[in-house]
Amino acid sequence: MLIDLHGNPAELSPAAFAKAAVAAGLDAVVVTDSNRTDRLDDYLDALEDAGVAAYAGVELTLDRGTLVFIPRDLDDAFFDEVWPQSWTLESALSYVSKFDGILIGGHPYCRDLGNIFGDRIYQVKGLAALEVRVGRGKMQWDNMADTAADRLQLVRVGGSGDGKWVGRAATSIKGDIETQPELVEAIEARLCWPVEFEPLNEPRDRSLPEPSRPSFGPRDEGGEERPRGEHRSYDDRRSPRGGRPYGDRRSFGDREKSEGGDEGRSFSPRRSMGERRSFPGHGRNDHRSRDGGGRPPRRDSGRPPRREH
């Protein structure tokens, strides 16, 4: 069974909406008007007259993101409900808790929809499914939605979300659905998969994101990156605490002389390995005396002299 779980008619009339559903080859549509249910009856009747199974839901437009609520049972209380026109995530979850049904998260990354969750989708609790196909936008956004659904362990579904896009994306449900409770149970049982139909004359954007170019140059105090090839002067490289400039590799004696140190003190450059002085009792030159004498005589070991044969 091919069904659009997010069939928002938007500005289409009931007759035009039913005609678009028939042209798309849909078996059923869940009509989800934005923050209202008082005009759903006209669309449900038009779909049934056109031979398309019709179910009801409501689209909740949040400050960031969109939710689709599908009730388990349709009664007068649902159709007569006066839904608020502005929502936060917390208020929407609290409001629908008084109804029995399921929540579907709208496509969280398709920027063509305008109002999306983004990574905030990972903070939404109580979802039964996630819309990962809407038939438009970049394929990269669909891949990001697939990743979110897998990590949150949600059922992946598809829907148009707008009357002029009916038939671009839908959901395939195993078996035949005849009533609203059976539809909700099939989604809860994870017996559904997202489906997308791409017109040949309007291919989707399959380009990969360009990797961001890394920044190698240090930043100024204002946080802006300096142009490549521009170097700071010697005075600008001084440390924030007033110490010596960064990268100053001069010897200690040279720095003291240049910075006005004690003139009476002498600073000799570091000697190489061959010029180091030797002292008795220190290191490998402990056999030499202070006056530079040669090797001392060998001490008697107490053994008898070696005989010649």
pLDDT tens per residue, range 71-106: 999 988 899 999 999 899 999 999 999 899 999 999
C-beta separation of 225 from 217 below 8 A: yes
Dist CA 187 CA 27 (whole Å)? 16
C-beta separation of 172 from 1 below 8 A: yes
Instruction: Count CB neighbours of 210 within 10 A.
Output: 6
- Both tokens of 211, joined, read 């990797």
| C-alpha dist (Å) from residue 70 to 81, 134, 239, 248 | 14, 18, 63, 69
User: CA 143, 148, 149: angle at the middle one, nearest 5?
Assistant: 95
User: CA 146, 182, 186: angle at the middle one, nearest 5?
Assistant: 25
Distance of CA 34 to the CA centre of its chain: 28
Dist CA 159 CA 182 (whole Å)? 19
Confidence of residue 267 (pLDDT cuts 50, 70, 90): very low
Query: What share of the chain has pLDDT > 70, as a percent?
Result: 67
What is the assigned CATH class of domain 2-196? alpha beta
Domain ranges of the chain: 2-196
Phi, psi of 67 (to 5 degrees): -120, 145
How large is the average pLDDT for residues 32-44?
A: 94
State the residue for tokens 């349709």. Answer: 74
C-beta separation of 117 from 108 below 8 A: yes
How large is the average pLDDT for residues 188-193?
A: 95
Q: pLDDT averaged over the chain?
A: 80
pLDDT of 152-171, one tens digit each? 999 999 999 998 899 899 99
Dist CA 197 CA 202 (whole Å)? 11
| pLDDT at residue number 289 | 46
How large is the average pLDDT for residues 241-253?
A: 53
How large is the average pLDDT for residues 50-57?
A: 96
pLDDT at 196 over 80: yes
- On whether the pTM is more than 0.75, the answer is no
pLDDT at 4 over 60: yes
Confidence of residue 220 (pLDDT cuts 50, 70, 90): very low
Dist CA 142 CA 147 (whole Å)? 9
State the residue for tokens 């006056």. Answer: 291
How large is the average pLDDT for residues 265-274?
A: 51
pLDDT at 278 over 70: no
